[in-house]
Structure 1
Amino acid sequence: MKWKQRNAEPLDPNLIQEYQLSPIAAKLFSLRGINTAEKLDFWFNSSEEDLADPSLMHDLDKAVERINQAIDRGEKITIYGDYDADGITSTAIMVETLSILGADIHYFIPNRFKEGYGPNLDNYKKIVADGTKLIITVDNGVTGVDEVAYAKTEGVDTIITDHHTFQEKVPDSYALVHCNYPGQTYPFDDYCGAGVAYTLCRKLMEDPLPELLDLVMIGTIGDMVKVSGEGHIIVKRGLEIFNHTDRPGLRALVKNAGLKLGNLDETDIGFNISPRLNATGRLDNASLAVELLLADDEFEAKELADKIEELNNKRREFTQEVYESCLNQVKINNWQRSNTLVLYDSNFHEGVLGLVANKIATTLHKPTLVLTKNDQGDVKGSGRSGKNFNLFNALNPLKNLFTKFGGHDFACGLSMTEDKIPELREKLESGFHVEQESAEEYDFELNLKDLSLDTLEQINQVGPFGTDNPKPVFSVSNFQIKNFIRMGQEKNHIRFNAVKEDGSL
């Protein structure tokens, strides 16, 4: 692995003094381009009051007008969500807000195994037949050309709120609210689905709605969108509100995760809270998680959280099983030297394909697709890649091989027939090219003599960390290793002291 040190001009000493920055924090801020009084002030002092005018987002005012019309007329509104943490929180945000406004509000989360991700014509037909007059999508919708067209012929309007990549055809919806719509003037372009839904709700309520930021923050971290710009406000303020949340569902979830409210950070959300919400959609129906977030009774919340905990434990087991099977496929087929991986087994559990693809891509440093076959005979899969390979762009020209396809730059989902797998494997491999030199970046050499618990406080001043504000990586060189021991049931973890001069880690 190649390592490259980040470089930047040092911060102005006057700024260091004004903001009382330690040498470590000052260096980290400079390396992230947060190097002016305006930027530092935003980092430390910005709040939801500083978010841009929602009306700048494409079609947002048009969407608000139609929603208010539906509420006034008593029309049935259905939120069409998604089964991951972002889709779950997006759904809860919209349902909670529209309930306050007195709407006749309902929600629908597709089943991963029966209906798959995103718009589905049969689902739209059921929703329309059930009397819905307005469909609002959250965290999906931009691929729903046929579904939106059908609803329109039945006199049902669709408002799409989404953040996923546009494809050739765009649905003819009543309104299309999207954080990255070409030519719009909204200044932040990397919200998750929950962020877009929250922006719409801010306008509906004419209020910054801080009470929703805990949910928006979970969606933001779960979907790995930017935590810079407005994303910084969402995650920073969302964590503050989360740590004092009165939501019975979140409190029960935190307790079952073995955590305590008060000082939870983005890592706790990313590794303990989001996976539990995701587990519902991976193994069951994600409506269970929406119910949890909307629960206002502690007993009900505990029952729901306990069910989710059981699902999360099963999710861990399935993930490990599929991961080990994938590694075995690579070994048996001598794919260690391949640039890309397409791994298939009809017995893989569909709910953990994305998790395993990410784990394989991270471990073996190769763009990876993991596929399985569902009960209907369709092959479904998830793909992940590193920052040096745009997986979406690589697969988009191969769309003729798929019955369904969508995603982001480095993550995707697809459906196809089994006979097309060899062609997909061959074309993905032959079309592989590194788009940029792959090198991991580190910040600077850490002096072990100065290391203390206070060092962590200094580092955390530059957080919360995530996409576009990477967690710091430090170099320690020319040290001695002492007290080296192997740990864990399989002795596959290690612990040691790194000792240099008068300091140790």
Structure 2
Amino acid sequence: MIESMKTWTVNRPDEHIVNLFMNELNIPSIHAKILVSRGITDVEQAQSFLHMNTSCLHDPFLLFDMEKAVTRIMQAIGSNEKITVYGDYDADGITSVTVLTTALEQIGANVDFRIPNRFEHGYGPNIELFNEIHNAGTSLIITVDNGISGHEAIAYAKSVGMDIIVTDHHEIGEELPIADAIIHPRHPKGNYPFGELAGVGVAFKLACALLEDVPEELYEIAAIGTVADLVPLKDENRFIVKEGIRRMRMSKRPAIQALAKISATEQSTLNEESLGFMIGPRLNAPGRLGSADSAVHLLKTTDQMEAMSIAEQLDALNKERQALVTEIADEADRALVEMYGDMLPYVIVIAGEGWNQGVVGIVASRLTEKYYRPSIVLSIDKESGIAKGSGRSIQGFDLFKELSKNADLLPHFGGHEMAAGMSLSIEDINSLRDRLNEQGKLGMTDDLLTPRLKVDVPLEIGEIEVDVLEKLELLRPFGVSFEKPVFLIENLSALNIRKIGSAKNHLKLELSDGTNSIDIIGFGNGSIADEMSPGVKLSVTGDLQVNEWNGRKKPQLLLSDLQSDERQLFDLRGIREPNRWISIIPQKNNLFIAFQESSVDHFQSLLNNVQIHQFGQVELMETDHVILLDIPETPDQLKELIVNTNPKRIYAHFHVSESVYFEGIPTREQFGWYYSFLKKRGSFDLRKQVQELSKHKGWKVDTIYFMTMVFSELGFVKIENGLATVREDAVKKNLSEAPTYQKRERQIELENKLVYAPYMELKSWFDEICKETVDKEEQLWI
């Protein structure tokens, strides 16, 4: 058996609706299954989803206060007032600033922008910055991607005579700030049809209202922020991203071309993953380490050389950010081991002096992904006595709710079920750690602490073709609320198992359903090859891709997880030296078993650190791995062992100290001649004459002793002190009645079945035994 790394939840789409979609929409089965698994069950709904257009965009004036905001902005433009767009330092905020300042410039506004520094000003409206903005002559501030919770700073802005328009999409508190207008898709007094816009989506709607048209050249900028902010990719968001990516692939914007080049991404193949993993992080990087202004300048520049220069700066900052994350993550790992050893806490709370506040959230995500525990990473500032940090959680542990129980320790915190930010006194870190661990202990079961994998698109290999995979573009973009599918292919036989890569740390499989085959690539999963026996039946999950090599295209699955319910047999026969195979034996839950007493001594001398047990001398209990060192005396012994230990894996060495398989059993003619020989002589001294007889007949000495013992057990001869004497009163018997004869027959049969049989025959025999084990277990439940 091979256990999956995660607990799979397999949802199978309704086959009737799948077939309906295939026929009515003329789409492949894979496309139909994805749509159905995402909750789309109506043909008309599916048609609209697949072929979105501008009709998806809602009237921007449906947003509460939009009319008021546009009126005030146009008034400011008419009187040449200075307008400052106040943004945020992440990719959503940066793109929001770009979209709105671009639109304002197009209608003649006197506009600039300000973005707070994460370390100097923190998130959101800041009194110090607002004062600087006021002193620079600004009379109207427009916030983008922030402001809904900036009560104090907004009140200050009003007190010094500035007007302020808030555009935001974050959660609204009990009270709204005293702004001149608040544009928010979930405004309590509004009725906007779609409440899940990103910050840049709200800025885009304001741009549409100001321009009295859709600024098509800004779709690509809005798409970046929408993907980066992980908002649901449905309704307007989906269309913005889909249209933005379409335009981005042929964009002449210097920023897009430079970012694609610097991230080694083909511009014509850009997709939501490129935005999320290649472009978004580079736009985020400057804001994580200092000022985010350069990212806005990049997106707005019309100069190719300037764009490339800034893109190179952002790339360098991103590499610096990556190095910081790795360094802090390593320090956090070491601190975790020092604090807890092998026993993980229910909730990880790790703090370090001087850790960069801009990346602690990423480190928390890494810890949560690695250990599957809620994780909080804090940066300690000894001068202020304050620790600031971020947390990430797992399904079933509401981080915001659990932090709320510790509000007395947390003067500032916020977030939601899966992520949160906070600050607290350094002196309270241990208390927070202890409390959260106790809360986790009470609220989290072993089941909750097991990673889960939602599998929702089961396939047959025959459905997977290159042209079908290339047409998955029709369903993109994938993201929140329309997740990338996790494909499942079940009950495949392993035709080929290999470790690949210079360090042999990657896995390559060729799996077959008996008719078709597919390649599987598992990066970092090379060690799993040691857990697989030839022909093992596997089910695999992952992401389907088109692999192109030397101009040839073929489908392959990038492995996410795999499992096998089949007990596995590993063939160690013929590898005489145990030191050549001992390294592949798992170190826990093992039973090294020998059936012969002589084998116990033999292997104990070769395997010093392994305990060898003799069959019949040890209580047989369930274990994961059984290592069969030699062959049993009877098949029933082996069956008894397997049934009682119920192993997941069987390692068959089957050492035979004296093989008789090729020697066989003497023929009846040999027995007849030897018996006649004995009768003629009356007696025969084995000690003195056996070598001479062996040489005369060309028989092995062991063969002569064997026949003599058979005659003795049948009463044909009597043996005393090596002298075999014929008995005159012998009763005629069949040779096969002699125990020694029977024992050799059994050994030959066992050697044939266990030692010399081809692997698949041996596996088939073990499968039968394992089936008896399963049948026995099922009978116990009846």
TM over 0.5: yes
Closer, same or farther: CA 313–497 of 1 in aligned 2, 3 Å: farther
CA deviation after TM superposition for structure 1 residue 458, in Å? 4.4
Distance 1:294 1:18 in 2: 45
For 1:419, give the aligned amino acid.
E
Matches of 2:110 and 2:37 in 1, distance apart? 50
* Correspondent of 2:7 among 2, 15, 38: 2
What is the CA deviation profile of residues 342-374 of structure 1, one whole-angstrom value per residue up to 9, with x for unaligned ones?
A: 211013222211211112222222222111135
Equivalent in 193, 202, 206 of residue 200 of structure 1 = 206
The superposition leaves residues 441-467 of structure 1 with CA deviations (integer Å, 9 ceiling, x where unpaired) of 111333234433224234443321000
Query: 1:73: Cα distance to partner?
Result: 1.8
Distance 1:396 1:77 in 2: 38
Relative to structure 1, is the Cα distance of residues 97 and 407 closer, same or farther in structure 2, using a 3 angstrom cutoff? farther
Matched pairs, number: 504
Q: CA deviation at 1:8?
A: 4.1
In structure 2, do the counterparts of structure 1 residues 349 and 494 end up closer, same or farther at CA, with 3 Å as the change threshold? farther
- Rate the CA distance shift 1:12–1:258 in 2: closer, same or farther, 3 A: closer
Q: Which amino acid aligns with 1:271?
A: F
Q: Which has the larger radius of gyration?
A: 2
Q: 2:349 aligns with which of 342, 367, 371?
A: 342
Corresponding residue for 2:415?
407
The partner residue of 1:462 within 466, 475, 480 is 475
Tell me the residue number matched to 1:262: 268
For the residue of structure 2 that corresponds to 1:401, the secondary structure is coil
1:434, distance to aligned residue in structure 2 (A): 5.9
Partner Cα separation in structure 2 for residue 118 and residue 399 of structure 1: 21
The answer to whether the 8 A contact 2:30-2:463 is kept is no
Shift of 1:54: 1.4
Map 1:170-189 to 2 at 5 A. 170-182=176-188, 184-189=190-195
Secondary structure of the residue that 2:311 maps to in structure 1? helix
Q: In the TM superposition, what is the alpha-carbon distance from 1:249 to its structure 2 partner?
A: 1.3
**Equivalent-residue separation in structure 2 for 1:86 and 1:24 (angstroms):** 33
Q: Do 2:349 and 2:377's aligned partners in 1 also have CA atoms closer than 8 Å?
A: yes
Amino acid paired to 2:459 = L
Paired AA for residue 21 in structure 1: I
Asked if the contact 2:255–2:300 (Cα under 8 Å) also holds between the matched residues in 1, the reply is yes
Match among 394, 417, 426 for residue 418 of structure 1: 426
Q: 1:149 Cα deviation (Å)?
A: 0.7
Higher RCO structure, 1 or 2 (CA under 8 Å, sep 6+): 1
1:306 shift after superposition: 1.0
SS in structure 2 of the partner of residue 272 of structure 1: helix
Please state how far the C-alpha of 1:233 moved relative to its aligned partner.
Answer: 0.8
What percent of counterpart residues are identical?
Answer: 36
Answer yes or no: is 1:392 the counterpart of 2:400. Answer: yes
Give, in angstroms, the shift of residue 492 of structure 1: 5.1
- 1:269, CA displacement in angstroms? 1.1
- Kindly tell me: are residues 172 and 370 of structure 1, through their superposed partners in 2, closer, same or farther at Cα, counting changes over 3 Å? same
Could you say if the C-alpha distance between residues 320 and 385 of structure 1 is closer, same or farther in structure 2, counting changes exceeding 3 Å? same
Q: Quick one: structure 1 residues 60 and 425, their matched pair in 2 at CA, closer, same or farther if it must change by over 3 Å?
A: farther
2:223 corresponds to? 217
Cα distance, 1:199–1:67 mapped onto 2, change above 3 Å: same
Pairs within 5 Å for 1:126-275: 126-182=132-188, 184-275=190-281
Gaps of 5+ in 1: none
Please state if 1:100 is matched with 2:113.
no
1:185-217 per-position Cα deviation (integer Å, ceiling 9, x unaligned): 112111111111111111111112221111111
Partner of 2:48: 42
Change (3 A) 1:442 1:213: same
SS at match of 1:180: coil
Q: 1:356 aligns with which of 351, 360, 363?
A: 363
Matched residues in 1 for 2:22 and 2:96: separation? Answer: 39
SS at match of 2:475: coil
SS for the counterpart of 1:293 is helix
Determine if the alignment matches structure 1 residue 276 to structure 2 residue 282.
yes
Which residue, 471, 474, 487 being the options, matches 1:474? Answer: 487
Deviation by residue 1:424-455 (Cα, 9 ceiling, x = unmatched): 22333344446996743111333234433224
Residue 392 of structure 1, CA deviation: 2.9
- 2:115 maps to what in 1? 109
- Equivalent pair of 1:54/1:203 in contact (CA under 8 Å): yes
| Alpha carbons of structure 1 residues 429 and 137: separation in structure 2 relative to 1, 3 Å | farther
Give the structure 1 partner of residue 758 of structure 2.
none
SS at structure 1 position matched to 2:414 = strand
Take 2:405 and 2:37, find their aligned partners in 1: how far apart are those partners?
Answer: 37
| CA distance in structure 2 between the aligned counterparts of 1:414 and 1:160, rounded to whole angstroms | 24
Give the superposition deviation at 1:338. Answer: 2.3
The one-character-per-residue Cα deviations of 1:318-350 (angstroms, maximum 9, x if unpaired) are: 111111222222222228542222211013222
Give the 3 Å change call, closer, same or farther, for CA 168–428 of structure 1 in structure 2. farther
- Asked if 2 retains the 8 angstrom alpha-carbon contact of 1:391 and 1:411, the reply is yes
Q: Is the 8 A contact 1:487 1:495 kept in 2?
A: no
CA-to-aligned-CA distance 1:357-395 (integer Å, 9 cap, x gap) = 112222222222111135863422122223433323333
Match 1:504 to one of 506, 514, 518: 518
TM-superposed deviation, 1:268 = 1.2
Counterpart CA distance in 2 for 1:183 and 1:158 is 19
C-alpha deviation, 1:493, in angstroms: 4.4
Contact 2:140 2:164 in 1 (8 A): yes
Distance in 1 (alpha carbons) for counterparts of 2:387 and 2:284: 21
Residue identity matched to 2:364: A
Shift of 1:133: 0.9
Distance 1:375 1:498, change over 3 A: farther
Aligned to 2:608: none
Change (3 A) 1:283 1:464: same
Residue deviations 1:42-86 (CA, integer Å, cap 9, x gap): 222222342111122222222222111211121111111111111
Amino acid at match of 2:335: Q
Whether 1:79 aligns to 2:85 is: yes
Cα shift at 1:40? 1.9
For 2:196 and 2:59, the matched residues in 1 are separated by 16
Q: Are residues 363 and 344 of structure 1, via their aligned partners in 2, closer, same or farther at CA, if it must alter by over 3 Å?
A: same
CA contact (8 A) 2:364 2:392 kept: yes
Secondary structure of 2:213 counterpart = coil
Q: Separation in 1 of the partners of 2:379 and 2:105?
A: 39
| C-alpha contact (below 8 Å) 1:385/1:411 kept by paired residues | yes
TM-score, normalised to structure 1's length?
0.93
1:446 aligns with 2:454: no
Determine if contact 1:113/1:374 at 8 Å carries over to the other structure: no
Comparing 262-271 with 359-368, greater Cα deviation is found at 359-368
- Asked if the contact 1:85–1:222 (Cα under 8 Å) also holds between the matched residues in 2, the reply is yes
The counterpart of 2:498, out of the listed 469, 475, 484, is 484
SS of the residue aligned with 2:269? coil
**Alpha-carbon distance change, 102 to 407 in structure 1, aligned in 2, over 3 angstroms:** farther
Query: 3-state DSSP class of the match of 1:477?
Result: strand
Cα distance in 2, alignment partners of residues 318 and 165 from structure 1: 30
The offset of 1:144, in angstroms, is 0.7
The Cα RMSD (Å) is 2.3
CA distance 1:372–1:58, change in 2 (3 Å): same
CA offset digits 1:238-279 (Å, max 9, x no partner)? 110111112111211110111121121111111101011111
- Greater Cα shift, 217-226 or 346-355: 346-355
- CA separation of 1:453/1:12 partners in 2, compared to 1, >3 Å: closer, same or farther? closer
For residues 356-375 of structure 1, what are the structure 2 equivalents within 5 Å?
A: 356-374=363-381
Pair 1:33–1:256, CA change in 2 (3 A): same
Equivalence for 2:719: none
Q: 311-320 or 389-398: which moved more?
A: 389-398
**In structure 2, C-alpha distance between the alignment counterparts of 1:215 and 1:434, rounded to whole Å:** 41
> Are the counterparts in 2 of residues 350 and 374 from structure 1 also a CA contact under 8 Å?
no
